[in-house]
Structure formats: C-alpha cells, structure tokens
Amino acid sequence: MLFSLIGIGVFTYGVIFTLLSLLSDCDLQLLFYEKFGKSPRRLKGKVVFITGASSGIGEHIAYALAKCGVRLVLAARRNEELQRVKRNCIDSSKGLLEDRDVLVIQMDVTDTASHRKHFQHAVLHFGRVDILVNNAGRSQRAMWATTEMSVDRQLFDLNVFGVVSLTRVALEHFDKVGCGHVAVVSSLAGILPVPYSGTYTASKHAIHKYNGSVQPSDKRMTAERCGYLSAVALANKTSESWIAVFPLISFTYIAVYFPIVFNIALRLLGPETLFKLRDSKDLDEMTEYGSISRSTTVGFQ
C-alpha cells in the first residue's frame, strides 16, 4: 500500500512537472514566484543600474521596473535611444518617477577602465545603487572554424570581462553599504550547446561558471514578457532563472537533469533543427559568417 502511494505520488509529480515545463515560458521556480512570490512592486524606491538599457530585454526590464516606481540608471552607448527609453520609463511609471529618478549614463561596457567613474556617477546621483543588472551583450551566428579571433575577443570583452569588471566595482559599493544584488542576463546558451554560435555559447558558459522586436514569423517571446519575468526574478532574488518559449524550457530541464537523453535527442534532431528552434532564418540564409550580429529577437540565443 505504502509503495503504491509513493508510486502514485512520483507519477503525479512527474506528469505535473512535465506539463508545466511544456506550457511555461520560464523555469518552474520563476513560474511559482510570478503567481505567489514577491511582486516587483516591492522594489519601489530602490536604485537599479541596468546595462544595455537602450533596446531589447534591458529596455523592457527598465519599463517593468519603472511601472513599480523603481529608480533607474540606464546605461549603454547610444544616448538618443537611452533618452527615448528614459522618457518612456517616466511616462509608464504614471507619476511614480520624475526626471531625476532616471539617470542616463552613456558608456561602453568594454571600456572597463571607465567602470568605476560611471558607477560612482550613479552613486553620487542617487546616494546609492541597490541592484546591478548586467544585461548588455551581443549574440553571434557564425561557423566556428572560420570565425576571426577579433570576434572571439569582442564577444568575450562584452559578454564576460565587461560583466566581471562592472560587478567587481559594484561589489565594492555593496560591501561599503552592507547590501546589494547583482544579476546577469545570460542565455540558455550558457547551459545548453547551441549550434552556429560557438563563441557566444562559450562566453555565456564562462559567465555561468563565474559564479527587439519580434518578427511576425517568429514564435518567440517578446522582450516585454522577458523584461517582466526578469523583474519578478529580481524581486524574488532567484539565484538562476530560465526564460524562453516552448519547447526550450523542457529541453533545458532534460539537458540539465537527463544529459544522456538530451545528447541522444540532439543527435536525432541534428544541429539544423536546433538552429531553427532559436532562429527563424534557415542556416543557408546566414550572411554573417564570422561576424557578430545584434540580436533582435528574444528566445534561445
């Protein structure tokens, strides 16, 4: 009788787990927090420094937080875009934020020598920074064998060393004030192997180990949804959260918990099929062999 009950329990757990991971656009912990955890509204009044806030996911994390009255530091290279995002943040906050509550900092994350100066600017302006969101990053579509070394260097400078350097500067500040929170927008490419993105995958794996717009034909998550789920993850201080559309969350669970099954599936599906899951283009439409492309879609990069 006891064994039957345990068996039914395990079976029911397996069915619910599988169904939820198939239907959800994030991992199950984040799904739980979205429904029952702390709302991002709890972050009201905090100061959040977001890199790569001029477009994509960083822009939408900024909007999700602005709606909750979170004070923002928007950092990236394109000043005009940052000013546009700042105006939208103030508008979407519906009176919770004023001009001085959103600070724009024009900075190149690969210029690590300037990190201290920029971070101090934010600290002087607000009196403190509570959360650093390392979001700035670039993706890549290329054949690994013919990728130029300069591309490897550029991607690592931005996706890895920029994050490491700015985080160290932030940690000094958090140490002084006694608290703080660092988040990194990485990628499922930091967990799974991703075809035709060798350098990008390696840069995101490196970050893991260290511790756009949607086209009509894309079945991808919007940056808005990704920004909102990221805000939920920040409010609940998750150590790691996965955000992606079907079937990538289930794939990730299989890869992490059943690597042998995943490797067999990988062989059966082949790299071309996996490539299509993350990209609406076919491989033979790729024009940027060995170059870095700015990503405009949200999903599995």
Ligand X SMILES: NC(=O)c1ccc[n+]([C@@H]2O[C@H](COP(=O)([O-])OP(=O)(O)OC[C@H]3O[C@@H](n4cnc5c(N)ncnc54)[C@H](OP(=O)(O)O)[C@@H]3O)[C@@H](O)[C@H]2O)c1
Residues forming the site for ligand X (CB under 6 A): 51-58, 76-78, 81, 108-110, 135-139, 158, 185, 187, 212, 294-295, 297-299, 301
The alpha-carbon radius of gyration of the chain (Å, integer) is: 20
Q: At its nearest, how many Å lie between ligand X and the CB of residue 209? A: 16
How far apart, in whole angstroms, are the C-alpha atoms of residue 219 and residue 277?
9
Residue placing its CB nearer to ligand X in the complex, 29 or 83? 83
Q: The tokens of 260 are what?
A: 């042998």
CA 14 to chain centre: 28
**Nearest alpha-carbon partner for 117 in 108, 242, 146:** 108
Residue placing its CB nearer to ligand X in the complex, 96 or 185? 185
> Is 200 among the catalytic positions?
yes
How far apart, in whole angstroms, are the C-alpha atoms of residue 166 and residue 51?
10
CA torsion 181→186→191→192, rounded to 10°?
170
Q: The tokens of 168 are what?
A: 């160290």
Q: At its nearest, how many Å lie between ligand X and the CB of residue 179? A: 25
Residue placing its CB nearer to ligand X in the complex, 96 or 158? 158
Neighbouring C-beta atoms of residue 56, cutoff 10 Å: 23
Q: At its nearest, how many Å lie between ligand X and the CB of residue 217? A: 15
How far apart, in whole angstroms, are the C-alpha atoms of residue 104 and residue 183?
19
Residue placing its CB nearer to ligand X in the complex, 214 or 283? 214
Looking only at the bridges linking them, the beta strands covering 291-293 and 47-51 are unpaired
Q: What are phi and psi of 228, to 5 degrees?
A: -65, -45
Q: At its nearest, how many Å lie between ligand X and the CB of residue 146? A: 22
Among residues 63, 196, 200, 228, the one annotated as catalytic is 200
Residue placing its CB nearer to ligand X in the complex, 55 or 165? 55
Q: At its nearest, how many Å lie between ligand X and the CB of residue 185? A: 4
Residue placing its CB nearer to ligand X in the complex, 96 or 147? 147
**Nearest alpha-carbon partner for 58 in 120, 117, 137:** 137
Q: The tokens of 126 are what?
A: 């607000």
**Nearest alpha-carbon partner for 56 in 212, 185, 231, 227:** 212
Q: At its nearest, how many Å lie between ligand X and the CB of residue 288? A: 14
3-state SS, residue 184:
strand
Helices (H), 210-258: 223-235, 248-257
- Residues belonging to the active site: 200
